[in-house]
Amino acid sequence: MILFIFLFAAWLLYERLKRFTCLEIYNALVGIPLSSIIIASLLTVINYLILVGYDWFAVRWVGEKNLPLRKIALASFTGYSFSYNFGSTLFGTSIRYRLYSAWGVPLVKILELLVILGLTFWFGVFTLAGVVFIAAPFPIPDHIDLPHHMGTLNLPFTQMHWAGVVLLVISVGYVLISAIHRKPFKFFRWNIPLPPLKLTLYQIAIACGDLLVAAAVFYSVLPPVEGGYIKVLGVFMLAFVAGVLTHVPGGYGVFEAFIMYFLPSSPAQEPKIFAAILAFRVIYHWVPLLIAAIMLGYNEWTLARNSTEPNGS
């Protein structure tokens, strides 16, 4: 199913871009101002620093107060860098398990930590998306014309307002539960306590900040678009969440297709928008992935070296 979704999204993207030559897209890519690249790079650094807040609060909440910030930052940066490129289920989770278990964090606490990280992400998405979709709803087409006389793909809604209402109600409901519910959540044989109200609000604030800055990274390399940053934020979140929900690793193809079909643009802008997507992938995904791989490899080498020393652990 995942392979089918990826191939379908890639096919839609190809049909959207096939009237443009590779040279046109290349010229659009190299035409992105250097100042925009620098701004996007700085915002990316800020964003990955914000992401450390996810793990920091979660680690402190499960009781591992002695784990130093540099280790938490390593787990956060490597975990998110790999999950953004290959999916969180296999890579983000396994990397965190490997690192935190190597640092002596018990399995049950790692599980609690992962639950908190998941809740943080989704309810942060629900909160910000709810506010954006209500405050600045954007229309989307009621159908997508499929190529080669295959008809149309009808979409279930054409306005994001009511979707925003539903998402915000879910988010507010979760906040209320965290304020009044004191019993732990049972997961198989483990009892996992729900985070208290204060931690919930902190985590949602971090998640909203994360998404706002991530969208700003993408916006900084885009050409001028109708509706400005708010419109880009709404479409970015729609594309980002679609990529996560389809479980396509890194959202490849899905994210690109949603942006190309739902972000308002003229035909002349489309190569520039696709070039901006490529630049975003390089700056926000691929460069951090390379750095994370080096850091993770060095950490594994350090662990292996220490385990072979007479007094190592």
The pLDDT tens digits of the residues spanning 203-256 come to 889 989 999 999 999 999 999 988 889 989 989 988 988 888 888 888 899 999
Q: Give the pLDDT confidence score for residue 28 in this predicted structure.
A: 94
Please determine, for residue 73, whether its predicted confidence score (pLDDT) is greater than 80. Answer: yes
Does the predicted TM-score (pTM) go above 0.85?
Answer: yes
Band of pLDDT at residue 189, cut at 50, 70 and 90: low
Domain ranges of the chain: 2-136+156-298
Band of pLDDT at residue 48, cut at 50, 70 and 90: very high
Q: At what angle do helices 161-180 and 107-135 cross, to 10 degrees?
A: 140
- Report d(CA 31, CA 205) in Å as an integer: 35
Q: Give the pLDDT confidence score for residue 195 in this predicted structure.
A: 77
Q: Which residues lie below 8 Å from residue 242, measured CB to CB, with a gap of 6+?
A: 251, 254, 255, 258
Band of pLDDT at residue 15, cut at 50, 70 and 90: confident
Mean pLDDT value across residues 59-72: 90
Mean pLDDT value across residues 267-294: 95
The pLDDT tens digits of the residues spanning 106-145 come to 998 998 888 888 888 888 888 998 898 888 776 666 656 5
The pLDDT tens digits of the residues spanning 241-280 come to 888 888 888 889 999 999 998 887 778 889 999 999 999 9
**In percent, how much of the chain has pLDDT > 90?**
41
Mean pLDDT of the chain: 86
Give the other-Cβ count within 10 Å of 170's Cβ: 14
The pLDDT tens digits of the residues spanning 160-181 come to 777 888 889 988 988 888 888 7
Q: Give the pLDDT confidence score for residue 166 in this predicted structure.
A: 87
Query: For residue 186, what are the β-bridge partners?
Result: 191
Residue type present at position 54: Y
Q: How far apart are the first and last CA of the chain?
A: 44
Q: Which residues lie below 8 Å from residue 244, measured CB to CB, with a gap of 6+?
A: 88, 251
**CA triplet 235, 121, 173: central angle to 5 degrees?**
95
One DSSP character per residue, 182-194 reads -SPEEETTEEEPP
